[in-house]
Amino acid sequence: MEQMTEMAAHRRAVEQIRQAYAEIPEDAAPRLAKATTNLFRFRDSSRAAKLSARDLDRVIEVDPVAMTAEVQGMTTYEHLVDATLPHGLMPYVVPQLKTITLGGAVTGLGIESTSFRDGLPHESVEELEILTGDGRIVVARDDNEHRDLFRAFPNSYGTLGYALRIRIKLKPVQPYVRLTHIPFADADKCMVAMREICESGQYEGERADFVDGTYFGPNELYITVGQFAEKAPYLSDYTGMRIYYRSIQTRTRDWLTVRDYLWRWDTDWFWCSRAFGVQGALVRSLMPRKWMRSDVYRKLVGLDRRYGLTARVDRWRGRPVQESVIQDIEVPVERGAEFLEFFHDKVGMTPVWMCPLKSSEEWPLYPLEPGRLYVNFGFWGTVPLPRGQFDGYYNRMIENAVHRLDGHKSLYSTSFYDRDEFWKFYNGPIYWPVKRAYDAGGRLLDLYDKCVRGR
């Protein structure tokens, strides 16, 4: 009965958004209004027609027997995990920040420490209900007439349509996660070890359930291996005064509840909370725990960007202009040490997150080679521009290096490709036939206009 009620509420929400979309004037650019965002493409949206997704943020059903969940597109992973863990289940890949939505991860980027085994979030999707650019509601699966849309939807960033309902597969969990932090003083050796762990699926003779890593400098890198456990001798808590990423440098072994493990990075937005002074003991002791979340920090960044507060202070103090370097990129694991050497020499930002991933199939708009192990490097901060250089200097340099190393780059942040190279990297020959089939009138921006031109 409860499932029928939730599905009926979902159908009402779908009809409401369909009608609202149809009422948007033809000359207005629709823009999905979300309560949270993890995108870092800031743009003026004052003239966009806002499309409310307020009633599309619930978990419709968790089926513990089939190990699946029916989820509305704007549901955050925080709410999704809270619904699945009581059944001893979790999504195959849970992106590291609580307010990433399932629809956002499927149509954009999602990655975490299970990605070496389970790929990206869209690889565990069984069915998508989509509001297409031409205003239709279609159900797309890998085995029906909308297969082309199903396959092209990942990395389309809302340019083909919006995910309204998603059915995903779930997998069993145990209550606790045992962490082992393995230090390295050499990037080459670290990449070799990461490849061995990921390809064997084991560490020290036991199954590796989670694998990621942290780069603090050329002579200080760590691989962190997580293993499910039924019992724990003690539990650490990184939601208060203690800071997770700092523990990596000081502990060899650690234990967390599975929920705290999934959100270990969120409290300090990896390490980016230090920009707001939150890692200082005094500020941290005074700040309510409920405010130590990635979405709060993201709102602060948005306010700073809107009013230019940091830029004004830097000018007043005579500091150089800063460029935001906020990116996630992937390169093959065998080229990982080369990328880190380049990044250290040319950019110099630390720490850097390292997360191995392997896709089991080819997905046309994010064309990683199936079965090949890549490492995602995530780096988020600002770097002073050299005298005479302009904004984009570092980001363009990184783009060139990534593709020189046979890698790929996520589009959630700034990009500087010219049109021809963009469509070469992001499979224009596949994208455009799908775009014409489901948005012939061009109601939604195309992928280049949205992710590079920032319209």
* Structure confidence by residue, pLDDT tens digits, 333-377: 999 999 999 999 999 999 999 999 999 999 999 889 999 999 999
Beta bridge partners of 165: 72, 129
For the segment 3-21, the average pLDDT, to the nearest whole number, is 89
- Rounded to 5°, the CA angle 273-278-282 comes to 165
For the segment 89-102, the average pLDDT, to the nearest whole number, is 95
Q: Does 313 have pLDDT greater than 60?
A: no
CATH pick for 308-416 out of 3.20.20, 1.20.59, 3.30.70, 1.10.3430: 3.30.70
Give the residue from 28, 26, 27, 21 showing the smallest Cα distance to 51: 21
Q: According to the per-residue pLDDT averaged within each range, which of 25-39, 249-263, 302-316 is highest?
A: 249-263
pLDDT of residue 318: 62
Q: Does 39 have pLDDT greater than 60?
A: no
For the segment 216-233, the average pLDDT, to the nearest whole number, is 98
pLDDT band at residue 29 using 50, 70 and 90 as cut-offs? confident
Q: Does 406 have pLDDT greater than 60?
A: yes
Cis peptide leading into residue 351 (ω within 30°)? yes
Q: Does 292 have pLDDT greater than 90?
A: no
69 half-sphere exposure, CB direction, 13 A CA radius: 27
Which of 135-139, 278-282, 295-299, 429-433 is predicted least confidently? 295-299
Phi, psi (degrees; rounded to nearest 5) at 373: -85, 125
Q: Does 311 have pLDDT greater than 90?
A: no
Can you point out the beta strands (E) in 269-414? 322-332, 352-358, 373-384, 408-409
The rounded distance, in Å, linking the Cα atoms of 308 and 279 is: 23
Q: Centre a 10 Å sphere on the Cβ of residue 439 and count the other Cβ atoms it contains.
A: 20
119 torsion bin: left (phi>0), alpha (psi -120 to 50), beta (else): left
Tokens of 424: 């070469």
Per DSSP, the residues of 123-149 read GGEEEEEEEETTS-EEEE-TTSTTHHH
* Mean per-residue pLDDT of the chain: 91
pLDDT band at residue 6 using 50, 70 and 90 as cut-offs? confident
Tokens of 12: 């009402």
pLDDT band at residue 305 using 50, 70 and 90 as cut-offs? low
* Max Cα–Cα distance, the chain, nearest Å: 66
pLDDT of residue 412: 87
pLDDT of residue 312: 63
Q: Does 43 have pLDDT greater than 60?
A: no
pLDDT of residue 301: 73
pLDDT per position as a tens digit, 45-71: 555 667 877 789 999 999 999 999 999
Per DSSP, the residues of 55-111 read T---EEEEETTTTEEEEETT-BHHHHHHHHGGGTEEES---SSTT-BHHHHHHS---
Q: Does 421 have pLDDT greater than 70?
A: yes
43 Cβ contact partners less than 8 Å away, ≥ 6 residues apart = 454, 455
pLDDT of residue 317: 60
For the segment 286-299, the average pLDDT, to the nearest whole number, is 86
pLDDT of residue 30: 83
The rounded distance, in Å, linking the Cα atoms of 351 and 243 is: 14
User: Percent of the chain, pLDDT > 70?
Assistant: 91
For the segment 169-197, the average pLDDT, to the nearest whole number, is 98
* Domain limits, the chain: 2-173+433-453, 176-264, 308-416
| CATH number, domain 2-173+433-453 | 3.30.465.10
The rounded distance, in Å, linking the Cα atoms of 366 and 154 is: 7
User: Percent of the chain, pLDDT > 90?
Assistant: 76
pLDDT of residue 170: 98
Q: Does 315 have pLDDT greater than 80?
A: no
Q: Does 294 have pLDDT greater than 90?
A: no
Q: Centre a 10 Å sphere on the Cβ of residue 382 and count the other Cβ atoms it contains.
A: 16
Which of 191-200, 294-303, 349-358 is predicted least confidently? 294-303
274 Cβ contact partners less than 8 Å away, ≥ 6 residues apart = 268
356 half-sphere exposure, CB direction, 13 A CA radius: 31
